[in-house]
Structure formats: C-alpha cells, structure tokens
Amino acid sequence: MDSKSDLELVRLCQAGDITAFDVLVRRHQERVYRLAYRMLGGSNEAEDVAQEIFIKAYKAIKKFRCDSSFSTWLTQIAVNQCINHCKKRNKIKLLSLGLAIKRRSSEPHAIAEHNEKREIVSKEVNSLSLKHKTVIILHYFESYSYEEIADILKCSSGTVKSRLFHARMELKDKLKPILEGDEWIGEKYEML
Amino acid sequence: MKCSKYKKLLVEFADGHLDHLRSQEIRSHIEECQSCKKELDDLRSSMELMGNSILSDNPKTPEGFSTAVLDRLYQEQKESWLSRNIILGVAFVICLLVLGMGLFLNINSSKQRDIWIEHAQLSGTSIKAELPKKIVVSEFQAEQPKIIKKTTKSSVKNKNQQNQTTKVENAKSDEIMSIELIKLLNQTLEIIEGDEQECEIAI
C-alpha cells in the first residue's frame, strides 16, 4: 500500500478503502500540521485543526476529480480550514498578543536573542492580514511556487505576486526595528 | 522606467523570480538609485531574518496523529449512522401514527353513522328532534367527492394501488347506500308530519 501513488490511493479511498486514507494521512500529515501550526501562529489548536482538515478531506474525497494533484487539493482544504478557524475565533490579534516576548534568564545570551528574533518574526507574520499571511506562509515557509499558490487559492498568479509584494513590504517595515538594534527590541516587546 | 515601477519588481528580483533581461535592468537602476538600493537591502535583510526563523522553527507532527485522525473518522461515521437511523425511526413512527389515526377515524365515523341510522329507524318519534329538517340529497352528493378525495390521499400514502381502487369503490357504494337511507328517512319524516297534522285536526 505504501508504494502506491497518491492518485491510486485516492481511487481506493473513493471505493471505500479507509486503510488507503491512513497511508495518505501518514504521507501528508507533517506538511498539513506544519501549515496549520504556522497559520494559527503556533497555537495548540494546530493539532485539532490538522485532524479536522483530514476528516474534511476524507468526506470530500468522492468529489475529488483528480484534475489537480492530491497535495494541492489537500492544501486548498487546509488553507480554507485555517482561514475559517482564524475568522471564527478572531484569533489573529489574540495570538499575536499571546506571543509575549520575554528573555529567559537561564538561557545563554546568543540563544535567547535567536529565540527572540524567531518569535518576533512569527508574531509579525501573524499580525498580517489573512490574505497576506497565507501567501507568505505558502511561499516562504512551505516553498510553493506562484502557480501552485494560485491553484490553491483559486486566483491568478498575478494576484499572488501582488499579494506577496504588499505582504513583503509590510513585513519589511514591521521587521525594520529588529534589524536596527537588539536593545530596541527588548524595550518594545517586554511591554507586551 | 520610474522608481515606483522598479520597486514593484524588487520582491520578485530579491526572490530570484525575474527573467534575465529584467534582472539586468534592475541591477543597473540600483547602481544609480540609492532609494531603491536601500529598499532592496531592507527586503533582503527581512527575508534573511524570516529565513532563519523558518529554519529554526520546524514543528513536528505530534505522535499518534494518524491514529487519532482515523479514530475520529470511525467515531464520526458511527455517529452519522446512528443519527440517520434515529431520523428514519422517528419518521417511521410518525407514519404509523398518521395511518393509525386515519384508520381509527374512519372506523369511528362509520360506526357512529351505523348507530345513528339504527337509532333513527328504531325510535320514530325522536327522529324529528334529531333531524330538524329534511336532508337534501343533492347537498349530500355535493359533499361526497371530498370523502373520495380523502380516501385517495390516504391510498397514495400507502402506495397501494389495489387498496386505493377498493376504497374508492367502497366509498361509492357507501354513497349510494347513504342516499337511499336519506330518502327513506325523509319519507318517514313526511309520514310523521302527516300524522301530527291529522291529530291536530281531530283535536
């Protein structure tokens, strides 16, 4: 079963073989979980949302006509599910606030600084609008091409380029303070 | 080309997605324009920062994830099977109740009619009280199609064509019998009324 291609497994699932779906879950779980984790800003809910993504995929698998790759189709479901989840719970701002940056005294300075920067980047990515955050995560974090993102989001690659441009510009401005000096970062984020 | 047009291409240039010709154009522009050069440097620095963040933050799928997904799937399938069967069961009970009510009402109304006719035939004096006026046969006939229609509706519910035709036939024979009975009753009423008038004259 493990040696079968995605499309062969999909056909088996469409015929009601749930073990074929198990193989698909194991094959794509890491990517889906990572995407959910990043879209939800590192929230604990990522596991639950990732499970829901696979359940939705299984329920809709009979409608999948194999005109795109299973991976793209699954990512479509994943992105929609994450966006809906963010909208429902109005999580974006809450999560940004939840990632309060505090330097841990026990950590060596270099590690603490690195962790701070990572958390600040994560926070700033999460503070972007849903459209901008989605393209940033798909392109830079998950390495999807413009065309693949266009397929996933069902829009033109021109729209993807435009969204990426605006998102990058916004992110550049937001990350500017970090690039200018570490002392400033501490002052800004310890207030959170 | 103006700076604003170059700036729009800076992200694609920084990511290496531009073709050779355009990349060359931007390179030569950056050499001359400090503002665009600064913009590109900032973009690259922020990208570097983001890249480091991506590399160092690689979340791993929790253990037993696929098993949990399959467990949830089985659970949901079980629940949907249960809820579907409950809905079917409730619908079946409602259908039975409706059919039972229909049958009960039908039997009850025919029994009542029989009792009333029997009572009318036995006690001639009380007929006047129970039948204050003569029943016009044409009125009675006008009401009959409703009965036939009702019977037809219930037959459709049963989905039994044979029963439907039998019921229609029964309803028709009931109608003829009822008309005959009403005629008989009317005649009885006339006789009673005649007797009463004769008594009054004699008095």
Q: What is the pTM of this model?
A: 0.61
Per-residue buried b or exposed e for A82-119, using 16+ beta carbons within 10 Å of the residue's own CB: bbebbeeeebbeebbeebebeeeeeeeeeeeeebbbbb
Of residues B196 and A28, the one with the higher pLDDT is A28
In a domain, B112, yes or no: no
pLDDT number for residue B141: 54
Query: Tens digits of per-residue pLDDT, B45-83?
Result: 888 888 877 767 778 889 999 999 999 988 888 887 788
| ipTM confidence score | 0.72
In a domain, A14, yes or no: yes
In a domain, A95, yes or no: no
Query: Tens digits of per-residue pLDDT, A122-161?
Result: 888 888 898 999 999 999 888 899 999 999 999 999 999 9
Of A93, A186, A144, give the one whose Cα is nearest residue B17.
A144
Total H helices, total E strands in chain A: 10, 0
Distance from chain centroid for Cα B50: 54
The maximal CA–CA distance of chain A, rounded, in angstroms, is 60
Q: What's the domain range around A83?
A: 1-89
Of residues A110 and B186, the one with the higher pLDDT is B186
In a domain, A47, yes or no: yes
Instruction: Say yes or no: A79 and A105 in one domain.
Output: no
Structure tokens that stand for B147 in this block: 């009965």
Interface of B with A in 65-124 (CB under 8 A): 65-66, 68-70, 72-73, 76
Say how many domains are in chain B.
2
Structure tokens that stand for B183 in this block: 């005629």
A120: buried, middle or exposed (CB in 10 Å: 19+, 13-18, 0-12)? buried
pLDDT number for residue B45: 86
In a domain, A1, yes or no: yes
In a domain, A28, yes or no: yes
Instruction: Place A181 in a pLDDT band, splitting at 50, 70 and 90.
Output: low
Instruction: Place A98 in a pLDDT band, splitting at 50, 70 and 90.
Output: very low
Query: Do B57 and A122 make contact, defined as CB atoms within 8 angstroms?
Result: yes
Instruction: Say yes or no: A106 and A190 in one domain.
Output: yes
In a domain, A160, yes or no: yes
Q: What's the domain range around B177?
A: 123-203
Q: Is residue A4 predicted with pLDDT exceeding 70?
A: yes
A146 interaction partners in chain B (CB closer than 8 Å): 17
Instruction: Say yes or no: A120 and A183 in one domain.
Output: yes
Say how many domains are in chain A.
2
B73: nearest CA in chain A? A55
Q: Is residue B150 predicted with pLDDT exceeding 80?
A: no
**Min Cα separation B90/chain A (Å):** 26
Last residue of a domain, one of A63, A89, A115: A89
In angstroms, what CA-CA distances link B85 with A17, A168, A178?
A: 23, 53, 60
A112 touching chain B per CB within 8 A: no
In a domain, A114, yes or no: yes
Instruction: Place B202 in a pLDDT band, splitting at 50, 70 and 90.
Output: very low
Cβ pair A133, A126 in contact under 8 A: yes
Number of other CB atoms surrounding residue B138 within 10 Å: 8
Q: Please, what is the average pLDDT of chain B? A: 75
Last residue of a domain, one of A89, A117, A144: A89
